[in-house]
Amino acid sequence: MRGAKRKEERSDMTHHENLSMMDTVTTKYGRTSFVTVSRTLAIILVVIFFICLIATGLLVYSFTSTCPKNETRLGDAEQVSRTTSCSVQVKQEEAVSTTMRAVVTLPPPSTTFKTDGALDIDKDLDIRLPRSIKPRSYRLHLTPFLEQGNFTFHGKVTILVEVTKTCSNITLHAQDLIIDTVSVMDAGNNTVSIKDVRTVSAKQFLVIDLDEELVETNQYYVFVVFKGVLNDMLQGFYRSSYVENSVTRWIAATQFQATDARKAFPCFDEPALKAKFQISIARPKNMSSISNMRRMETSDHVDNLPGYAWDHYEESLPMSTYLVAFVVSDFQHISNGNCSIWARPSALSQAQYSVKIGPSILKYYEQFFGIEYPLPKLDMVAIPDFSAGAMENWGLITYREPVLLYENGVSSKSSLQRIAHVVAHELAHQWFGNLVTPAWWEDLWLNEGFATYVEFLGAHAVQPKWKDLDLFLVSELHESFTLDSLKSSHPISVKVYNPDEVNDIFDRISYSKGASIIRMMQHFLGQEVFHKGLNTYLKNRMYGSAEQDDLWYTLTQESQASKSLPDGTTVKQIMDTWTLQTGYPIVTAMRQPDRSVTLIQQRFLLDRDEQHEDDTLWWVPITILDSQDRQTNAWLSNVKETTVENALDADVSWFLINVNQTGYYRVNYEVENWKKLMNQLLGNGHVIFTPTNRAQMLDDALNLAFAGYLSYDVALNVTKYLVNEREYVAWKAALNNFEFLHNMLVRTAHFDKFKVYITALLQDFYEELGFKEASKEDPTRVLNRMEIINQACKLGVKDCVLQAVQQFQNWRNSANPDKENFINPDLRETVYCTAIGVGGLDEWDFAWSRYLKTNVATDKEILLSALACSKETWILSRYLEWSITDNSGIRKHDIARVFAAVSANPVGHDLAYKFLKSNWNRIREHLGPSSMSLSSLVRTSTAKFNTDEEVDDFKSFFQRKKEEFGIATRTAEQSIEQIEANTRWMKKHYQSIVNWLENFKNGYFNG
């Protein structure tokens, strides 16, 4: 997911658990009995111990010197062979050709991915698996141990492989696993002699070298016995916990996307290498398990584990390893048809909304995609500790609790919208990503871009009053513009060379830009052509993999039949300019005397002065609307400049480019047309434009001014009409841009002038909305109330602050604050933040206590953010400290939320950055250096920098620690570019904005 959102550096500093693996017979823990011995006896025992140790070493040496290099598969579960033989030697081969031998077991490899230095993976070094072997099916047995102090798992896997090219080794993936036994057999149960087994740690390969060649087209069985750790890094096969009735309860769950299935079992861990999976999970008899498919049967565990049972699952459809999933827990579930929601028992009542909308969205997608949901069931599980927002595992979707669970009267109404979107996103993946999978991660955007776009359609289908199709602009399009304005952005389809880089592209470009260009394509192709092409693509590629060119080919066929594109033009020609190039264009439109419009494109960059170095061009779909309501469509077809003849009616006042901002580009005009648009906006004239076009004009104008394409006098004049604006999408676009101005000005002597202006814009709307919600209000009015009241309290509007403080105190004074909270759930974050901000330790401690006690995950999120609003530096410092302290009450997946909230506080921004620097090693160890949260910490703690000193300090820190940034490397480079732009902005525009604001008096402008 977004998900999964969105989704790493593997270094020798990765935190590993103590690998004192539990023997399969050691399953019970009880009171230990003690005995005493005399000093003489103790000395004798010690001497005997060392004699035994030396003897053992000699025996091992002799054994390894004489062991024949063959191995017979341990076939108890698969019934292929029951012979035994000497265990195979295992060799670990480092990328620098250092060879180290071990006997029987392979310790977890020390794997480092760096951004530079001698041990880098050179981009010429192929880290893809050889194509001489492909998997056909897996039989996987896993036994996780969830006893306190022994969070490990034992496993064995049999992989049926097919030889596509004669070869003498089998290469697959394994990471952080102890390999006990490896064997290979042919289809006739004959042992294939093994020469050696080794790992290539830089590639995370497990290589089985053979004494004979494998025959092309033949099939073989690869059998591996292994052990691993149920880690606490929220990756691979990991552990999570929750507390109920003062008892800590443990669960085991999975998160494999993108390259972490190899941490749970040896496998061919690439998305195109699909296979069928038959999974068996051992679990304590007082717990349950779930996996991708339905459970076939349950049997007793025969390996001296009387407290355990085996759950055996049906064989899956062909699928990628990253979509395999299983959960062992004591969760309970509720069902609606073939859809079930699983959660911890005390939270199950919060699953009613999800279990209602899940089947509805699923049914909508079956009609939209023209293909029935292919699995017999769908489980959705709320996991207490989860790194992503959600993950689309086929038939078993895992979620972070707040995006699946909703408590009426406690969770905000916006949580309903959030849940609908995340559920819709993950269900869209069941077709786009699971049924048809990208052949390699460079086309990740085919997964995430489509799921992000289609989620708006799915959410709209179940709750149309939220106006999701309009909200796409401020949720996705404008957000992607921000990142894509940087030179350090990347193409949607990007080459990736190691797992670090794979996880690095789970960002706004793959998700939001991907979704935005798909939305653009749907508009220029037309709904019918787009829909038919999509259906054909999925049906032709189902249960397989695809590249973006496969989709372009199908859509081109449909477009040629309907003549929806210019003659001789293919979808690939157009879309390659959007997927293979970085950035996006700004289209400058100039009106000509003969009713034509001249259009010029150039790449939009945060620093306009850098544009002369970039001659990137795109196929830009142009839509023109004039004041006479005439619309003209044209193409700016991969050329710098074109003129659209007869684009306007005679005597039109203004014209607008990019109607409803369906195209992925910004628009600039000559000042005269900007002024005419502004005049139309003032009064009540803005209603002639759609809310999405009003949002477009606001966002374009303010960003054009930031980059120097338009004067701030013009851009800020566009915002004056907001005193009469009541549509959420337009206000949200404005507030997103005002947030940047707020962050740049908040530490300056003229911030008061900014506060006066913004307060004047929203004062009437604030009074109209009020704190109290009316019955059956339009959902977008609820969103407006949340945004406007939050902005008013943030700016210190007296009435807002007083009401917030009073409501918070009433809550504190209630007889049972954990059960009696009458604060509007939609306004709780603002109320809590405001009261904590003007309060002291008592208010903070009260909120912290509520955080620890609440059973509602959405409430925990709100409280976590609000706790960062304190103005006491020592409290904020302590809060940051607690965020990286084990057992403090703050879960690992919430550390990024804490840092973001502290960084958003003007008092806390410098604290967060200094804390990041001084505790860098602790943070990396606590999160794991491959955690995507690290990127978030880097981005949020530097976002407000706007001085040369701050830029130099971060650049120096980054250079010193660059090898340790791992997955956060690209984020750091983007942050540097952004804060350098902030610094230039302060030098270029600060004074002109102050001058403009000084002209504002009592809500009116002079001149």
CA neighbours closer than 13 Å in the CB half-sphere of residue 72 = 12
What does 433-463 look like in DSSP terms, one character per residue?
TTTEEESSGGGHHHHHHHHHHHHHHHHHHH-
Cα gap 539→829, rounded to integer Å = 46
- Residue 954: its H or E element: helix 948-965
Alpha helices in 330-394 (DSSP H): 352-369
Q: Which of 93, 426, 448, 843 is catalytic?
A: 426
Asked if residue 869 lies in contact with residue 885, where contact means CB atoms within 8 angstroms, the answer is no
* Rounded CA separation 619/622 (Å): 9
d(C-alpha 652, C-alpha 646), whole Å: 12
Q: Which residues contact 752 (CB under 8 A, 6 or more apart)?
A: none
Nearest to 943 by CA among 967, 919, 971, 963: 971
Reference 310, options 285, 277, 278; nearest CA is: 285
Known catalytic residue: 71?
Answer: no
Write the DSSP symbol of residue 863: H
Q: Which residues of 138-148 are buried (b: 16+ CB within 10 A; e: fewer)?
A: bbbbbbbbbee
Q: In whole angstroms, what is the distance from residue 583 CA to residue 80 CA?
A: 55
* Phi, psi (rounded to 5 degrees) for 450: -65, -45
Length of the chain: 1007
Could you give the maximum distance between any two Cα atoms of the chain, in Å? 112
DSSP tag of 512: I
C-beta separation of 249 from 213 below 8 A = no
Asked if 912 and 881 touch (Cβ cutoff 8 Å), the reply is no
What's the CA gap between 613 and 610, in Å, rounded?
6
Return the structure tokens found at 184.
Answer: 């290979």
Q: What is the DSSP string of 192-213?
A: PPEEEEEEETTTTEEEEEEEEE
Cα→Cα distances 709→27, 641, 741, Å:
69, 18, 17
Burial-class residue 777 by CB neighbours within 10 Å (0-12, 13-18, 19+).
Answer: middle
Rounded-to-integer distance, Cα 586 and Cα 604, Å:
5
Burial class (CB in 10 A: 0-12, 13-18, 19+), 373: buried
Q: Kindly state the helix (H) or strand (E) to which residue 753 belongs, with its residue range.
A: helix 751-769
Q: How far apart are CA 354 and CA 381, in angstroms?
A: 11
Burial class (CB in 10 A: 0-12, 13-18, 19+), 41: exposed
The amino acid occupying position 265 is F
What are phi and psi for residue 634, nearest 5 degrees? -155, 175
Supply angle C-alpha 181, 183, 185, rounded to 5: 160
Residue pair 416/353 in contact by the 8 Å Cβ criterion: yes
Is the distance from CB of 290 to CB of 197 less than 8 angstroms? no
Which residue in the block uniquely carries the two structure tokens 């690290």? 934
Q: Please, how many CA atoms are within 13 Å of residue 180, restricted to the half-sphere of its CB?
A: 14
Give the residue numbers marked as catalytic: 426
